[in-house]
Amino acid sequence: MMAVYELIKREEEVEVEHIMMEDLNKKIVNMEEGYTDQSGKVNAVVGDNKNIKSNLIVISNGKEDVSASSKSRLVSLDVFRGLTVALMILVDDVGGLIPAINHSPWNGVTLADFVMPFFLFIVGVALGLTYKRLPCRIAASRMAVLRSLKLLVLGLLLQGGYFHGINDLTFGVNMERLRWLGVLQRIAIAYLVAALCEIWLKGGDAVKSELSLLKKYRFQWVVAILLTITHMALLYGLYVPDWEYQIPSQGASVPTRTLTVKCGVRGDTGPACNAVGMIDRTILGLQHLYQRPIYSRTMQCSIKSPNYGPLPHDAPSWCQAPFEPEGILSSIMAIVSCMIGLHYGHVIVHFKDHKNRILHWMIPAFCLVLMGFILDFSGMHFNKALYSSSYTCLTAGAAGILFTGLYVLV
């Protein structure tokens, strides 16, 4: 997670700068505000936002020069990012000692369950600023794909690999048990989809009100709605049959055990028979999933619940089965979290008055929180492992409220 912090931190300032430099090499000047002085120099300033300014690029006699003036940033977003990193470190180091802030074993939310959605929200806000103006959509798309690949590879190296034989000084990655998905991989997927939507799916309508803002980005909202419908249809519509897994032997005297999990249900959202786990088992394979599932801290699976502990004598068969918390189906709603953050970035770009920004942020944020509780009470419980719709609404709304509060303070 610390690695993605630095990659995202430069998002607002690097992407447009690279694209602009490509165009400058072709002697094309793209600017929002600029002037030509009497000496024939063309001065281009990228970004007219009060809170966001890029380097001053001066072109004279066909040569470009980037001034050494310091870069200003959207400070409230940086503060939000820093607080999220601090929260991540807190729950990682203290979560095992204080179960109340550790990840929820299954249904419900705790402090730790807000970290991932906050990061995705921040990525979305940054994308809205990065792609404010696009001299070349193809170049921007190429850069988005490359940055996503960097995150994917970094995730595999730092989190997905299985390093073995440390005591014997034999190192390497066991490809047979490599964990394909993880935190950085999920952020990479959400980033790529949201970036491509921002590059290709926005209209040329002038934004003067909330309605015109929605009209300009209507196709992006269509994508978000379709993703939500797809997630809910698969989660509650797929039939989950019985399945089995093996517990590897711990020695020659302990044979490998094969356990069967009885399901045969549709629309179940429990740990054993949900569609999220079935899709990951089918596509990725059991050996490539996270081997220490979060639900092993539930009361059914641990006598020290909500901490890890020995199995109860009557523990169900699924307690030791692998489960991928950053799975394929759950990543669909992670994309939606990122696209909600993208909307907040659009507000910064199109509304210059502070009161208008706060108003256009707080109303959807409170609506999302309210919708999250309504869905939870209706049976679609808050669940990070499944990335349920209620969880998406609650965490995105909380991110919007916190970001707005930081914007006011900063």
Among 130, 146, 144, 183, residue whose Cα is nearest residue 4: 183
Between CA 163 and CA 170 the distance in angstroms is: 9
Q: Dump pLDDT digits (tens) for 377-403.
A: 999 999 999 999 999 999 999 999 999
In this predicted structure, what is the pLDDT of residue 306? 87
Among 51-55, 133-137, 214-218, 261-265, name the one with the lowest average pLDDT.
Answer: 51-55
The CA R_g of the chain, rounded to the nearest whole Å, is 24
Give the DSSP letter of residue 107: B
Query: Given the structure tokens 């990061």, which residue do they identify?
Result: 119
Kindly tell me the sign of the dihedral angle through the C-alpha atoms of 169, 152, 108, 87: positive
* Furthest C-alpha separation in the chain: 88
The predicted pLDDT at position 198 comes to: 95
- Each domain of the chain, given as residue ranges in start order, spans 74-237+332-409
- Cα distance between residue 59 and residue 259, in whole Å: 70
CB 284 within 8 A of CB 181: yes
What are the CA-CA distances from residue 211 to residues 15, 356, 362 (Å)? Answer: 29, 14, 16
Residue range 68-85: mean pLDDT, rounded = 80
CB 293 within 8 A of CB 322: yes
**Whole-number pLDDT of residue 16:** 43
pLDDT digits (tens, 9 = 90+) for 121-152: 999 999 999 998 888 999 999 999 999 999 99
Is residue 168 pLDDT above 80, yes or no? Answer: no
Sequence-separated (6 or more) residues with CB below 8 Å from residue 87: 111, 114, 115, 118
Name the residue with higher pLDDT: 122 or 100: 122
pLDDT on residue 42: 39
CA angle 184, 286, 269 (to 5 degrees): 80
pLDDT tens digits along 44-67:
333 344 443 434 333 334 444 433
Distance, in Å, from the CA atom of 361 to the CA atom of 381, rounded to the nearest integer, reads 25
Distance between CA 80 and CA 118 in Å, rounded? 9
Higher pLDDT, 404 or 307: 404
% of the chain at pLDDT higher than 70: 77
| Whether 342 contacts 374, CB under 8 Å | no
- Report whether pLDDT(32) > 80: no
User: Tokens at residue 62, please?
Assistant: 């066909």
Mean pLDDT, rounded, for 269-295 = 94
State residue 135's pLDDT score: 86
Q: Tell me the C-alpha to C-alpha distance, in Å, between residue 139 and each of 133, 218, 289.
A: 13, 24, 35
Instruction: Kindly tell me the burial class for residue 177, based on how many C-beta atoms sit within 10 Å of its own C-beta (0-12, 13-18, 19 or more).
Output: middle
In one-letter notation, the amino acid at residue 66 is V
User: What is the pLDDT at residue 398?
Assistant: 98
201-210, 237-246, 288-297, 321-330: the lowest-pLDDT one: 201-210
- CA torsion, points 138, 144, 146, 151, in degrees to nearest 10? -170
* Preceding omega of 306 cis (within 30 degrees of 0): yes
Mean pLDDT of 344-359: 94
Q: What is the pLDDT of residue 250?
A: 66
The residue ranking higher by pLDDT, 257 or 171, is 257
96 falls in which pLDDT band (50, 70, 90)? confident
296 or 40, which is more confident? 296
Residue predicted with more confidence, 215 or 97:
215
Span 284-299, average pLDDT: 92
φ, ψ of residue 23 to 5 degrees: the values are -70, -35
The per-residue pLDDT for 254 is: 63
**CA distance linking residue 350 with residue 331, whole number of Å:** 29
pLDDT at 177: 79
List, as one string, the DSSP characters of 359-370: HHHHHHHHHHHH
* Cis amide bond preceding 364, omega within 30: no
Question: What pLDDT, on a 0 to 100 scale, did the predictor assign at position 71?
Answer: 52
* Model confidence, pTM: 0.82
- Parallel, antiparallel, or unpaired: how do β-strands 56-60 and 33-36 relate? unpaired
Range 166-177 average pLDDT: 62
Residue 190 has pLDDT above 50, yes or no: yes
